[in-house]
Amino acid sequence: MSRGRVDLTESAAVMVRRRLEDWAEAVRSHDLERLIAYHVDDFVYFDVPPPTQVRGLAGYRDSWPPFFDYIGDNGTFELSELEVAAGDVAFGHAILRVRGAFESRTGQVRLTVGLRRIDGEWWISHEQHSAPYIAVRSGQ
């Protein structure tokens, strides 16, 4: 970007970052309506616990209450190292720091989010939470 020139993609990246930070705050406050508010109807979701894939908002909505129970009132759910690239579509990735209400250690989960701009607003169309695969050797 040259000096003195407005970069619209940078503004989009700021908007997307705010959207993702608001999403994380909705998770922390157990606000299910706010959590799903910025998702498209044909949303696709991949999570760490089963099921492997969820399509649509009804399944996404159903996946959150058990997680709210897990983190309770004093668990952890924080975005770390959030990076955003935005233009016609946007992608964000971060490390989620997660700790259950009754756990002493905080774990890390990868987050990848895809967004589409519809009528000037950013809508989440894809979300993936993943954990590193750790192979178990036979005999251990």
- Kindly report, residue by residue over 50-97, the tens digit of the pLDDT: 888 999 999 999 999 999 999 999 999 999 999 999 888 999 999 999
pLDDT at 8 over 70: no
Is 3.10.450.50 the CATH number for 8-130? yes
Q: How many C-alpha atoms does 12 have within 13 Å on its Cβ side?
A: 20
- Kindly report, residue by residue over 20-42, the tens digit of the pLDDT: 999 999 999 999 999 999 899 99
d(CA 136, CA 134): 6
- DSSP letter string over 25-66? HHHHTT-HHHHHTTEEEEEEEE-SSSPSEEESHHHHHHHHHH
Domain boundaries, the chain: 8-130
The rounded mean pLDDT for the chain is: 88
pLDDT of residue 135: 66
Q: Which residue has the higher pLDDT, 133 or 78?
A: 78
d(CA 120, CA 27): 24
Q: How far is CA 13 from the centre of its chain?
A: 15
- Between the alpha carbon of residue 78 and those of residues 23, 65, 96, 120, the distances in Å are 11, 18, 6, 27
pLDDT of residue 9: 55
pLDDT of residue 129: 95
Q: Is the pTM of this model over 0.85?
A: no
